[in-house]
């Protein structure tokens, strides 16, 4: 049972440098940053790497049509991220035929960088691809029950493929504490529900996007919400949703994650 800590790539880098030691001290195993316009996951991860000692680092995720596979070694090298702490996280982005390109990308990045490659996966074909060819998967917007189901499905595919190498099953779990942050969570959930692929994803589970997240009034409520994920999934990632980009908002989430792990 491990818990990751995830932020957006638009977070202030000075804030990451202040929070990094606290995140590591709290016992989080991997620090994740997504990669969205307006920010770079490479910069965010480098900021965390510079103030921590051992916590692993992962992009969650970089669309391969934004940073092609051939550019990954240079990007990691320039950010000082070629060491053993790093997971390279990639997704298919807007590719029309993603599986062919993703297969090549995993091979190229793994060979060029020597780092394990995590694949962001939503639909069944990409989850199968991840289980058969990648070094891990990053799932998103799932209830604890469906996270466990997806993990079991992929474990079976992994076994049937004759694989014995390490494989990381990770899933973002959005957590908001306090009404302003919960309002931000509602907005983000509604945005994802407007995407056809995600609308189908939520319909298959019979829940709304908001229902997969943790909307808490207190640190203790947030910790309690994380417990089912920790009990049923290998590596849930506390994906921060905050109303204000300040230390206090993130420190509450750090405390919630620490408490959840302590409660088991």
Write down the pTM of the prediction.
0.97
pLDDT(1) > 90 = no
Domain count, the chain: 1
Q: How far is CA 139 from the centre of its chain?
A: 7
Upstream peptide bond of 61 is cis (omega within 30 degrees of 0): yes
Q: In the numeric block, which tokens belong to residue 101?
A: 């390109």
Q: What is the rounded average pLDDT of the residues 209-216?
A: 99
pLDDT at position 110: 98
pLDDT(94) > 90 = no
The pLDDT tens digits for 10-49 are 999 999 999 999 999 999 999 999 999 999 999 999 999 9
Please report how many Cα atoms fall inside a 13 Å half-sphere around the Cα of residue 1, on the Cβ side. 14
- List, in order, residues 6 or more apart from 128 with CB less than 8 Å away: 154, 157
Q: In the numeric block, which tokens belong to residue 147?
A: 């996270």
The C-alpha angle 230, 233, 235, rounded to 5 degrees, equals 80
CATH number of the domain where residue 33 is located: 3.20.20.30
pLDDT at position 55: 99
pLDDT at position 96: 80
pLDDT at position 241: 99
pLDDT at position 185: 99
Domain residues for the domain of 92 are 4-263
pLDDT at position 188: 98
pLDDT at position 92: 94
Bridge partners of 7, per DSSP, are 33
């Amino acid at each position: 049972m491990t818990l990751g800590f995830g932020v957006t790539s638009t977070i202030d880098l000075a804030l990451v440098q202040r929070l990094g030691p606290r995140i590591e001290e709290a016992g989080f195993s991997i620090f994740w940053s997504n990669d969205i316009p307006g920010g770079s996951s490479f910069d965010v991860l480098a900021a965390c790497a510079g103030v921590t000692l051992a916590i692993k680092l992962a992009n969650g995720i970089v669309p391969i049509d934004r940073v092609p596979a051939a550019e990954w070694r240079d990007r990691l090298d320039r950010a000082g991220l070629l060491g053993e702490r790093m997971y390279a996280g990639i997704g298919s982005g807007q590719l029309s035929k993603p599986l062919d390109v993703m297969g090549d990308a995993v091979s190229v990045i793994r060979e060029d960088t020597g780092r394990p490659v995590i694949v962001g996966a939503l639909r069944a074909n990409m989850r199968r691809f991840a289980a058969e060819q990648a070094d891990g998967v990053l799932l998103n917007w799932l209830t604890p029950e469906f996270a466990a189901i997806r993990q079991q499905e992929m474990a079976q595919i992994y076994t049937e493929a004759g694989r014995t190498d390490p494989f990381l099953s990770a899933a973002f779990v959005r957590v908001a504490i306090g009404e302003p942050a919960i309002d931000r969570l509602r907005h983000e959930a509604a945005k994802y529900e407007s995407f056809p692929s995600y609308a189908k994803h939520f319909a298959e589970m019979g829940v709304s996007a908001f229902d997969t997240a943790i909307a808490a009034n207190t640190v203790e409520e947030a910790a309690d919400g994380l417990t089912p994920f920790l009990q049923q999934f290998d590596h849930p990632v506390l994906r921060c949703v905050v109303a204000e980009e300040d230390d206090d908002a993130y420190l509450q989430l750090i405390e919630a994650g620490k408490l959840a792990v302590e409660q088991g």
